[in-house]
Amino acid sequence: MIENTLRIEKLKQLLSDQDMALAECHIAVNRQIRKWLIWLISEKHSSNKTIDAYLADLQVFFSFLTDHLGDYANIEVLEKLSLQDFRSFLAMRKSTGLSARSMARNLSALRSFFRYLEKNGILSNSDIKNIRSPKIGHSIPKPLSPDMSKKLIDQVKNVPRGKPSEDDDWVDARDMAILILLYGCGLRISEALNLNGKDLYAIKSGVMSIIGKGNKSRLVPILPVAVDSIKYYQSICPYVSDATDPLFYGVRGKRVGARAIQKKTEKLRYLLGLPESVTPHALRHSFATHLLTAGGDLRTIQELLGHASLSSTQIYTEVNAEYLKNIHEKAHPRNR
């Protein structure tokens, strides 16, 4: 609640200049865009990335409308937009080489904005509800094997370094602790990096509450090896983590960014000769796949991952089938 309030105040501050147009549209529409952004934070608990992406999508849409209609769009124009208008926008986006997934997100942003306008009695446009989303190709997550997951983490300390420094040991300990959290607990990288000093008590107790997408909370068991790795990192880290301080620091004393962990994973990938599909998020995929292979049920895995829908978790049944097939082909005597 406090975090959302701070985000809303920050957004209001950014939008305080009345002359700053968020998009190429009538001032009344810009006013509604502002209110919609605040609603996304306060009511929908949307992430900063979603807010940024949706705003960028609307800016492109209204820029298109200016060219398409020959003038800035007002409320009345938005209410009268036809199915053909929305299709023309998507056709324009497709002509620029935009992927089907990105086009689907464009449409999601528009639908969200128009739903907000209808909910608040500003306008009603039925055609935006009838346009179909672009078909998105079905992709399956690519997990690592249990042995390779362990090897990836164990090799953190062996990644070639640039200029040796006294910081190397604690940075390696930090990166190892983070990767263990991703693989051992199924955390998203953002969830691991957002941990603060106040979370240490729960971590040491073996179960902690994680705030995931949509500001939703879930309980996650913490493996002893993860607890030990965090304790070791803390014992040699030059920075202290008080309640509101980050648990995982960067070398300059601020919260470590995701890019630092991604770069370390890239170096590990090169060191071990692994494909580009091996990313920090692949460790989360590996967590889910290995639990399912070991007999874990989908509902439990759904809760551990923080998926809002079981359909998001069900994709791992496809991964699991392919994974078991590969093991069978490699291990069965008749396939040798």
Catalytic residues: 188, 213, 281, 284, 307, 316
C-beta separation of 242 from 326 below 8 A: no
Q: Token digits for 35?
A: 């209110």
Indicate the DSSP class of residue 71.
Answer: S
Phi-psi category of 215—alpha, beta or left, where left has phi over 0 and alpha has psi -120 to 50?
Answer: left
- What is the torsion angle, in degrees rounded to the nearest 10, for the CA atoms of residue 56, residue 57, residue 61 and residue 62? -30
C-beta separation of 314 from 298 below 8 A: yes
Give residue 90's Cα distance to chain centre.
Answer: 24
Beta bridge partners of 246: 196
- What is the C-alpha to C-alpha distance for residues 52 and 37, in angstroms, rounded to an integer? 10
- What is the C-alpha to C-alpha distance for residues 300 and 70, in angstroms, rounded to an integer? 54
C-beta separation of 290 from 143 below 8 A: yes
